[in-house]
Amino acid sequence: MSSPDAAPAQVIVRLVGVYDADSTLRGELSYWVGARLGRRHCSLCEITHGSVRQRPEWKTCQDGLPVPFDTYHRNDQPGPIRVASGGEAPVVVAVTDAGHMLLLAAKDLDACDGSIDRLVEAIEESAVRLGLTWAPA
């Protein structure tokens, strides 16, 4: 039973992922080559993309989430997302009815080990830990 003074749970209305790469042609090529040579690593990229394209199973996952999941690169992320993440990447940020909140940091995404299912589990666990709820469908 909650007390009358308890703050209502913040509601997640959107998820935003930020890749540890730039969206420019040079940035994309630099990341791709660096990743192939073992010099660059973005755990969010590994979850959502194959060696060249977005994984079809990622699109299916996005369509099944209770809220939209948008992605940006380091250089094109919206300001409020950059502030919530502290400028770090890769991350997942929850956009709530009360603001923006870091949901998953780079270490959390690394722990997903490239698995879409583990990403979804990590998002759900973090939301519960932070006292967040999902927007009604």
Q: Give residue-wise pLDDT tens across range 35-64.
A: 565 666 789 989 998 777 889 999 999 999
Closest Cα to residue 11, out of 64, 61, 67? 67
More confident residue, 11 or 135: 11
Highest mean pLDDT of the ranges 3-17, 27-41, 49-63:
49-63
Neighbours of 96 (CB within 10 A): 20
Residues 134/67, Cβ–Cβ less than 8 Å:
yes
pLDDT exceeds cutoff 90 at 104 = yes
Q: What is the pLDDT of residue 30?
A: 59
Dihedral, 79, 83, 89, 93 alpha carbons, nearest 10: -90
Checking if the pLDDT of 29 tops 90, the result is no
| DSSP run (H or E) holding 37 | none
Tokens of 121: 């589990």
Identify the three-state secondary structure at position 28: helix
Q: What is the pLDDT of residue 32?
A: 59
What is the reported pLDDT for 1?
Answer: 42
